[in-house]
């Protein structure tokens, strides 16, 4: 097959692990619903399942793919396979990945391989922690609630925006101008009050379009300056 | 009467038998990926120290957000039982999405989770919706991801700068949108976001400038979260 792309061993492993585990995930996901059907005879009518599925598709159909497009450049193959499967991408996996790169002073553009592996290790750690946490809560949940002071429990209501704040700081500092533009776009989109379905794709694609446009202009300017230099050199030799 | 029935089923101990395997796969996948990363770390010029640090930062930064799941999980357990809640919150999707799916299932019968009319069949519908939503993410990945890698390699060959630019722009878009949505949702959320962002900037700058503050930068995410959460609660008062 012409144009076959050669992947290095790391990537081959990544894809292999990813496809196997995600396939297993799809199959095993049906465990509980099937159990309920086989043991209790409980199952919604096919029509209901279908109409429910259509509702889900209308709400998230685009997100399944745009999330991947948006996170893939930063998270890499491993980041998506793991992040998607373990869940909580923007609230936990991504922040942890970025935090690890930040802590080690690794820039993804200049050291992509390092960034990929560091991100992988950190995300793996986050999976262990999150599963341990949910398991802990499953076992002694009510006791935890009874022991923690009320103030702390109420403070956890702000965990989500807090984590988002740290992400805003990390991503914003990478390129302030671009982030300000993206924030303005986000503000405009929110103000327009469209169905939620359109918000993310709109902002993502607008942000990409603006960045690509600026890049094109920058490239053209650089090429113009190269041409001027060439012309000046010609003049010198006349 | 119906309500009691479904909760008994929801807490059926045998449900653990069908929920544990998939979470085991989640954990095994993480182990495999970490091992894959470690075995290729030398090629990428990463020292053992750096790998250890990455792991440490991974663990510490995850603690805060993970325990943020605590309060949500407990309220979910009360209406969906422990095994299923544990399973769904340990894998694909997040707490809000899982609750949304559960409600969609209930909505198919014109009721809501945990309300009158929500019995065994409705609970099953909730689980079907959660399952279908979950596998959608996985199917999208299975269909598209390895192809994206091919696209990435081809585009990078044509112009090495385009993909990083698209990537950074997309990330900025997503984070800006997520942040804006949070900020718009309530004053408390906006304040928490702001405090966390500011703390993060301060810690990073301090860590960059002064060696003694390096730990601050390393665990900046965790610290910023804590400070933002506690301060916001103190500012906003009890709900």
Give the model confidence (pLDDT) of A180-234 as tens digits.
999 999 999 988 888 776 788 888 889 999 999 999 998 888 888 888 888 888 8
State the complex-level ipTM: 0.85
Q: Which pLDDT score, from 0 to 100, does residue B215 have?
A: 76
Q: How is residue B87 annotated by DSSP?
A: H
* Average pLDDT of span A9-22: 94
Q: Which of B138, B192, B201 sits opposite A25 (nearest CB)?
A: B138
User: Cβ–Cβ of A165/B140 closer than 8 Å?
Assistant: no
Which residues of chain A have a CB within 8 Å of the CB of B111? none
Structure tokens at B185: 């949702």
Which residues of chain B have a CB within 8 Å of the CB of A178? 168-169, 172
Report which of A21, A70, A87 is spatially closest to residue A206, judged by C-alpha positions: A70
Q: Which class for A37: exposed (0-12), middle (13-18), buried (19 or more C-beta within 10 A)?
A: middle
Give the model confidence (pLDDT) of B21-79 as tens digits.
999 999 999 999 999 999 999 988 899 999 999 999 999 999 888 877 777 888 888 88
Give the model confidence (pLDDT) of A139-195 as tens digits.
988 787 778 788 887 888 888 888 889 889 988 988 899 999 999 999 999 888 887
Q: Which pLDDT score, from 0 to 100, does residue A156 have?
A: 81
State how far the Cα of A163 lies from the Cα of B202, in Å rounded to an integer: 16
Among A153, A168, A170, A188, pick the best mutation site for testing chain B contact (most B Cβ within 10 A).
A168
User: Cβ–Cβ of A162/B121 closer than 8 Å?
Assistant: no
| Angle value at C-alpha B57, between B53 and B59, nearest 5 degrees | 115
Tell whether A13 lies on the interface with B, counting CB pairs under 8 A. Answer: yes
Range picked from A114-128, A129-143, B52-66, B107-121 for highest mean pLDDT: A114-128
| Plot region of A20 (φ>0 → left; ψ -120 to 50 → alpha; else → beta) | alpha
Phi, psi of B109 (to 5 degrees): -110, 15
Which residues of chain A have a CB within 8 Å of the CB of B14? 35, 39
User: Cβ–Cβ of B173/A182 closer than 8 Å?
Assistant: yes
Tell whether A75 lies on the interface with B, counting CB pairs under 8 A. Answer: no
Q: Which pLDDT score, from 0 to 100, does residue B101 have?
A: 92
State how far the Cα of A40 lies from the Cα of A35, in Å rounded to an integer: 8
Burial of A106-132, coded b for 16+ CB within 10 Å and e otherwise, reads bebeebebbbbbbbbbbbbbbbbbbbb
Q: Which pLDDT score, from 0 to 100, does residue A1 have?
A: 43
State how far the Cα of A131 lies from the Cα of A139, in Å rounded to an integer: 12
Give the model confidence (pLDDT) of B123-146 as tens digits.
999 999 999 999 999 999 999 888
Please say whether the beta carbons of B10 and B123 come within 8 A. yes
User: Cβ–Cβ of B169/A182 closer than 8 Å?
Assistant: yes
Q: List for chain A the helix, strand, coil content (%; round to 5).
A: 85, 0, 15
Q: Which pLDDT score, from 0 to 100, does residue A14 have?
A: 94
Top pLDDT among B113 and B48 is at: B48
Q: How many beta carbons lie within 10 A of that of residue B144, not counting itself?
A: 17
Which residues of chain B have a CB within 8 Å of the CB of A223? none
Which residues of chain A have a CB within 8 Å of the CB of B168? 73-74, 174-175, 178, 211
Sign of the four-CA dihedral A110, B211, B218, B225: negative
Report which of B88, B157, B14 is spatially closest to residue A88, judged by C-alpha positions: B88
Tell whether A197 lies on the interface with B, counting CB pairs under 8 A. Answer: no
A:B CB pairs within 8 Å:
546
- Distance to chain B for A224, nearest Cα, Å: 18
Give the model confidence (pLDDT) of A42-80 as tens digits.
999 999 999 999 989 888 888 888 888 888 888 999 999
DSSP for A166-232, written as a single string? HHHHHHHHH-HHHHHHHHHHHHHHHHHT--HHHHHHHHHHHHHHHHHHHHHHHHHHHHHHHHHHHHH
Q: Which pLDDT score, from 0 to 100, does residue A144 have?
A: 77
Please say whether the beta carbons of B224 and B200 come within 8 A. yes
Which residues of chain A have a CB within 8 Å of the CB of B55? 121-122, 124-125
> Token pair 């709109």 is at which residue?
A202
Burial of B42-64, coded b for 16+ CB within 10 Å and e otherwise, reads eebebeeebbebbbbbbbbbbbb
| Plot region of B210 (φ>0 → left; ψ -120 to 50 → alpha; else → beta) | beta
Tell whether A62 lies on the interface with B, counting CB pairs under 8 A. Answer: no
Tell me the three-class secondary structure of B45-84, residue by residue: CCCHHHHHHHHHHHHHHHHHHHHHHHHHHHHHHHHHCHHH
What's the pLDDT band for B92 if we cut at 50, 70, 90? Answer: very high
| Angle value at C-alpha A27, between A85 and B139, nearest 5 degrees | 50
Question: Is pLDDT at B1 greater than 80 in this prediction?
Answer: no
Tell whether A26 lies on the interface with B, counting CB pairs under 8 A. Answer: yes
Which residues of chain B have a CB within 8 Å of the CB of A158? 188-189, 192, 228-229, 232-233
Please say whether the beta carbons of B133 and B97 come within 8 A. yes
Report which of A73, A58, A82, A197 is spatially closest to residue B138, judged by C-alpha positions: A82
Give the model confidence (pLDDT) of B143-200 as tens digits.
988 888 888 888 888 887 887 888 888 888 888 988 998 898 889 999 999 999 999 9
Q: Which pLDDT score, from 0 to 100, does residue B219 have?
A: 80
* Nearest-by-CA chain B residue for A154: B233
Which residues of chain A have a CB within 8 Å of the CB of B136? 56-57, 60, 64
Q: Which of A80, A174, A199 sits opposite B141 (nearest CB)?
A: A80
The percentage of residues in chain B with a pLDDT greater than 90, rounded to a whole number, is 45
Residues 6 or more apart in contact with residue A76 via CB below 8 angstroms: A115, A116, A119, A120
């Amino acid at each position: 097959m012409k144009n076959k792309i050669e992947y290095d061993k790391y990537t081959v492993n990544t894809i292999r692990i990813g496809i196997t585990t995600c396939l297993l995930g799809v199959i095993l996901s049906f465990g509980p619903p099937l159990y309920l059907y086989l043991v209790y005879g409980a199952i919604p009518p096919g029509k209901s399942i279908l109409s429910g599925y259509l509702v889900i598709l209308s709400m998230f159909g685009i997100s399944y793919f745009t999330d991947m497009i948006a996170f893939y450049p930063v998270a890499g193959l491993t980041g998506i396979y793991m992040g998607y499967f373990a869940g909580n991408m923007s609230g936990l996996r991504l922040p942890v990945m970025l935090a690890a790169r930040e802590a080690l002073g690794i820039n993804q553009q200049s050291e992509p391989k390092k960034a990929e592996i560091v991100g992988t290790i950190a995300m793996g750690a986050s999976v262990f922690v999150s599963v341990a946490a949910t398991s802990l809560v499953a076992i002694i949940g009510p006791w935890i609630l009874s022991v923690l002071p009320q103030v702390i429990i109420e403070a956890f209501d702000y965990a989500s925006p807090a984590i988002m704040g740290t992400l805003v700081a990390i991503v914003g500092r990478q390129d302030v101008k671009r982030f300000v533009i993206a924030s303005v776009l986000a503000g405009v989109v929110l103000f327009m009050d469209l169905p939620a379905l359109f918000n993310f794709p709109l902002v993502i694609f607008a942000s990409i379009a603006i960045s690509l446009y600026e890049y094109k202009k920058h490239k053209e300017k650089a090429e113009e300056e190269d041409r001027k230099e060439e012309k000046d050199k010609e003049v010198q030799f006349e | 009467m119906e309500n009691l029935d479904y909760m008994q089923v929801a807490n059926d101990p045998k449900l653990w038998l069908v929920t544990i395997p998939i979470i085991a796969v989640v954990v095994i996948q993480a182990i495999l990926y970490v091992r894959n990363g470690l075995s290729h770390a030398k090629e990428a010029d990463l020292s053992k120290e750096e790998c250890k640090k990455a792991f440490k930062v991974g663990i510490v930064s995850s603690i805060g957000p993970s325990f943020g799941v605590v309060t949500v999980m407990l309220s979910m357990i009360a209406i969906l039982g422990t095994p299923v809640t544990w399973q769904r919150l340990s894998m694909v999707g997040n707490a809000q999405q899982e609750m949304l799916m559960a409600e969609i299932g209930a909505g198919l019968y014109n009721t809501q989770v945990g309300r009158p009319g929500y019995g065994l069949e409705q609970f099953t519908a909730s689980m079907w919706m959660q399952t279908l939503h979950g596998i959608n993410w996985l199917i999208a990945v299975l269909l598209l991801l390895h192809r994206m890698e091919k696209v990435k390699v081809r585009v990078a060959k044509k112009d090495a700068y385009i993909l990083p630019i698209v990537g950074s722009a997309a990330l900025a878009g997503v984070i800006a949108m997520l942040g804006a949505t949070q900020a718009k949702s309530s004053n408390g959320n906006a304040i928490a976001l702001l405090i966390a962002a500011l703390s993060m900037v301060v810690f990073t700058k301090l860590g960059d400038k002064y060696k003694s503050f390096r730990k601050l930068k390393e665990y900046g995410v965790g610290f910023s979260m804590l400070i933002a959460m506690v301060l916001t609660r103190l500012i906003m008062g009890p709900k």
